[in-house]
Amino acid sequence: MVGFVVLAISGGLLAWGVYEQTFLGVLPGLLVYGIGLSLVLTTKDPVGLDTIPDADAGQASGVSATAEQFGGALGIAALYSVFHAVYVQQLHEGVNASRLPDLSDASYRALKAGIEAAETTGLRVEAFSVKLQAYLGIARDASEQAYLVTFLAVAGIAVLGSALVAWLVRKPPRKADDPSVAEAQPDGVSA
């Protein structure tokens, strides 16, 4: 539960960092995110495998690892879908609200290609046509809004995860051959 709460806090910190528009604003969220993720992932296997008989532990561990990988891929896809939907909506709203003319499909493709190229080489305004340079501020604002919403979605998912853990995860019953059970019984009577 603590790990998910820390992840929720990191989502809020990351959103705040995007709002601040500085790397130092985002850094605390990144650090807290790493702590929260490590808390969740290091406790997942012991909690999931405590109630499994020793003979089935290998299979259960494999299923758990597969579920973790599938869940991670699904989560990344879902969060990217949120980011993309918000970005596209904000980009179109920003262009419509500005005095700039609407972009043609070809111009949108050129803007997208230029932004994707900037992800590997760094953003150089002069690499864009003069016509598209005016749209870069709108694209940046749309991107910031999309990141803000996505990080808040991370926080919401983490709160949901914490609630599910609180509801579903229970301490496993002690095994009859556990020596601490025999010690806890009066007069050495074993359970």
> Which residues are CB-contacts of 153 (< 8 A; sequence separation ≥ 6)?
11, 79, 82
Q: Give residue for tokens 């998910």.
A: 4
How many other CB atoms sit within 10 Å of the CB of residue 191? 11
Region 22-29: what's the mean pLDDT? 90
**pLDDT value of residue 170:** 75
- pTM (global) more than 0.85: no
Model pLDDT for residues 132-176, shown as the tens digit of each residue: 888 888 999 999 999 999 999 999 999 999 999 889 877 766 766
**pLDDT value of residue 177:** 62
**pLDDT value of residue 49:** 75
The DSSP secondary structure of 79-142, one letter per residue, reads HHHHHHHHHHHHHHHHHHHSSSPPPPHHHHHHHHHHHHHHHHH---GGGS-HHHHTTHHHHHHH
Q: Are 90 and 137 in contact (CB under 8 A)?
A: no
Q: Considering the chain, what is the average pLDDT of its residues?
A: 85
Model pLDDT for residues 83-113, shown as the tens digit of each residue: 999 999 999 999 999 998 888 888 888 888 8
Region 3-7: what's the mean pLDDT? 93
Region 29-36: what's the mean pLDDT? 94
Domain ranges across the chain: 2-76+147-171
pLDDT at 190 over 60: no
pLDDT band of 187, cuts 50, 70, 90 = low
SS (H, E, C) 32-88: HHHHHHHHHHHHHHHHHHCCCCHHHHHHHHHHHHHHHHHHHHHHHHHHHHHHHHHHH
